[in-house]
Amino acid sequence: MDLKLDHRTEDRLTIVEVEGEIDVYTAPRLRELLIDLVNKGNFHLLVNMEKVDFLDSTGLGVLVGGLKRVRAHDGSLELVCTQERILKIFRITGLTKVFGIYASVEEAKEAHGRDK
């Protein structure tokens, strides 16, 4: 399955919806979107990965790159993910310590609201 990307902004939080496979072939599209969002002043990003079928280290690299970019603006990049097979790769690489990972968009929005 190819990669589908969409985004919307609610309050100060930009929600990026990702669907499909994030790998060496498709990851550049996600990277471009994250860079574009940051360049347009969106510094608080929430990437919803609930519809991601596959994620490899290239995709992880793109997410870490996005995190570095938003942090340079005192922003945040957090994730929504409950799929064990996707969470496993975050655990293997230790990235569960780096990203805020939530069970739903609503939960992430509540946490984001508390931090404001």
Partner 1 sequence: MATVELTFSALPAHVRTARLVATAIARRTGVAEALLDEVRLAVGEACSRAVEAHRLHCPGEPIRIELKDDSGRFEVTVTDAAPSDDLKAVDSSDGYRLVDAMLGIVPEMPGLGIAVIAGLADDVEVSPGPTGVKIRMSWPATPTPNGLAAV
Assess contact for 2 and 29: CB atoms under 8 A: no
Contact residue for partner 1 among 85, 103, 110, 113 (CB under 8 A): 85
Contact residue for partner 1 among 17, 29, 50, 57 (CB under 8 A): 57
Cα 89 to Cα 6, 15, 44, 62: the distances in Å are 23, 22, 23, 14
Contact map string, positions 27 to 56, toward partner 1, x by CB under 8 A: ---------------------------x-x
> In what helix (H) or strand (E) does residue 101 lie, and over which residues does it extend?
strand 101-102
The nearest distance, CB 101 to partner 1, in angstroms, is 14
Strands 13-22 and 4-10: antiparallel
Where on the chain is the footprint of partner 1 (CB under 8 A)? 21, 23-25, 54, 56-58, 60-62, 64-68, 85, 89, 92-95, 97-98
